[in-house]
Amino acid sequence: MARLIDGKKIAAQIKEEVKGEVEELLAQGRKICLAVVQVGEDPASSVYVRNKQRACEYVGIKSVLKKLPDETKEEELLAVIKDMNQDDGIQGILVQLPLPAHIEEDKVIRAISPEKDVDGFHPENVGRLCIGEKGFLPCTPAGVIKLLKYSGIEIEGKECVVVGRSNIVGKPMSLLLLRENGTVTVVHSRTKNLQEITKRADILIVAMGKPMFITAEYVKEGAAVIDVGIHRKEDGHLCGDVDFESVKETAAYITPVPGGVGPMTIAMLMRNCVLAAE
């Protein structure tokens, strides 16, 4: 029976630390403001944006929300970002993804000043991560590393398997595990013998976007399983990419959904906002 990795509790600890750091910065006369841009009314995005703003309020970071309609033109969004880049009252900028199909995400991410890129998505920050230079780390993968460390799970020398190769999670996740001296394999939708490879993992990170796909048959006895997925089931409940009930019998550690990786993403965003203000 696996031990539960309580992301909510660990995130709360991190937010307490950040709260103290914010107090210090404000006492020194520094400003910390996060600008959040949301284009359209995607319900999941609205929930995430609200949670990010709540976290800001809790730790003492000012936040401003720029809500734009679905039909906003790409140039209009780029102009908003340009203004925010030049605004000394804004230290961090976050454009909530996904964007409507007529807007090129890549172009928008590149438009954000790398010094204000608290998501860590700008190619400059991605490049820094790749070569081990200091920069903004993407919040979800950075949160996963924190979860492992807080839970006393050693990464060095371990077989780490990342399921998924997205720019937001899979790719940066693999780089961060490598930085921690893990032996890293990335598997994806075209991988042959997926199960054979995931079953080798001491640390299995799942970010494939398929509800409850990973069952006990994919997991080695005693593995640590981190579930990055989040989906709403027909009955209204949330679930991850991992079949929790099945895998909890095989794994030594497992994250729940909700209450695992999600709260950590937000806690790490608060961390990045402090970095941006410094």
Strand order in the sheet with 224-227: 3-4, 253-254, 224-227, 203-206, 159-163, 183-187
Nearer to ligand GUN, 8 or 200 (CB): 8
Q: Applying CB under 6 A, what is the total number of residues that bind ligand GUN?
A: 9
119 contacts ligand GUN (rule: CB under 6 A)? yes
118 contacts ligand GUN (rule: CB under 6 A)? no
The verdict on whether 13 is a catalytic residue reads: no
Q: How far is the CB of 147 from ligand GUN (least distance, A)?
A: 15
Distance, CA of 150 to CA of 144 (rounded, Å): 10
Which residue out of 15, 91, 119, 158 is catalytically annotated? 119
Q: How far is the CB of 119 from ligand GUN (least distance, A)?
A: 5
Q: Which residue is nearest to ligand GUN (CB)?
A: 97
Distance, CA of 147 to CA of 152 (rounded, Å): 9
Question: Beta-carbon neighbour count of residue 109 at 10 Å?
Answer: 20
In the list 72, 96, 174, 255, the residue contacting ligand GUN (rule: CB under 6 A) is: 96
Candidate ranges 80-88, 91-99, 128-136, 146-154; the one touching ligand GUN (CB under 6 A): 91-99
The verdict on whether 149 is a catalytic residue reads: no
- String of contacts with ligand GUN for each residue 252-271, x by CB under 6 A: -------------x------
- String of contacts with ligand GUN for each residue 158-177, x by CB under 6 A: ----------x---------
Nearer to ligand GUN, 99 or 212 (CB): 99
Question: Which residues, numbered 125-164, are part of the site for ligand GUN (CB under 6 A)?
Answer: 139-140
90 contacts ligand GUN (rule: CB under 6 A)? no
Q: How far is the CB of 232 from ligand GUN (least distance, A)?
A: 15
- Residues at the contact surface with ligand GUN, assessed by CB under 6 A: 94-97, 119, 139-140, 168, 265
Instruction: Please identify every residue annotated as catalytic.
Output: 52, 96, 119
